[in-house]
Structures are given as structure tokens and as C-alpha cells.
Amino acid sequence: MGEESISLAYIVNQLRAFRKGVRKNGMMQNMAKNLTDIEINNLAAYFSSVTNISAGGDKELATKGESKAPMCFGCHGNKAIGMGVTPRLAGQQPAYLQRQLHAFKDGSRKNGPMSGIAKMLSEEDIKAVTEYMGSLK
């Protein structure tokens, strides 16, 4: 698995969390509820092998977000490529990343470190840093 892929361990953990109902999302919970461990491992292997591309995004906001992004690299890897059980942020759709940060911020998605970080971000910070992450590949 090279640096161009999403973390296999992260995908496995998230699919298991959806299957157990620990992570909430109606569509994903429904899709994962009947998956076996073997199917989860196979899906994770496939998706972790797919080469990422940049989602693009607003270039002006991405430039503003670049200075804020290094706070993410400690857990999400250099240039946010993901590390172990932390997801790749590089190339993700900014709107998706914004929804996740808002969920951490309002407590509807649980993760101690991310909840604390999200609460420190203004709406402008969230938009800028997610546009920057979307611009990476």
C-alpha cells in the first residue's frame, strides 16, 4: 500500500463501526450491517488500493487554509495522506470534510482529539482548511 492510497486499517475500523452502529449514518449503517469480516477486509483492500486524485476546490480559500493545515499533519500524516487508523484528508471533497468537522464540533460524531480541534475552528477556518485538503492529492 503506497502513499497514494487510503489507509486499509481506517476503512476496516469505520466499516465495523457502521456495522455495529457505533458510527451513525443511515446509508452507511444499512450498507455495512450485513457485511462479514471477510467482506469488510476485501472492501478495505480494494478502496485502499485506489489512487487518489485532487477534489479541486476554491483556490483562494485553499491558499488561506494552507497555513492552518499543518495542525492536521501530526495525526493525518505529511500532506494529510493518512496514517494507520487516521484517514486520508488529501483530495477529499471539501463539503464532506466540512460536514465531518461540523459533526465533531457539535458532538454528533465522537472523537476526543477531533472534537477539541473542531471546536477551536471558526467557520472561515473550516472552509479554508477543507478547501486546502481538497486541493491536495
Band of residue 111 on the pLDDT scale cut at 50, 70, 90: confident
> Helix (H) and strand (E) counts for the chain?
8, 0
Query: What residues have CB less than 8 Å from 6, skipping those under 6 apart?
Result: 47, 48, 50, 52, 82, 87, 88
Please state which CATH number belongs to domain 1-51.
1.10.760.10
Q: Which amino acid is at 57?
A: G
Q: Which amino acid is at 39?
A: E
The pLDDT tens digits of the residues spanning 78-103 come to 999 988 889 999 999 999 999 999 99
Band of residue 64 on the pLDDT scale cut at 50, 70, 90: very high
What are the structural domain ranges in the chain?
1-51, 53-137
What per-residue confidence (pLDDT) applies to 41? Answer: 96
What per-residue confidence (pLDDT) applies to 5? Answer: 52
What CATH number does domain 53-137 carry, 1.10.760.10, 3.30.428.10, 1.20.120.450, 3.30.70.1450?
1.10.760.10
End-to-end Cα, the chain, rounded Å: 16
Please tell me the pTM assigned to this model.
0.81
How large is the average pLDDT for residues 22-36? 95
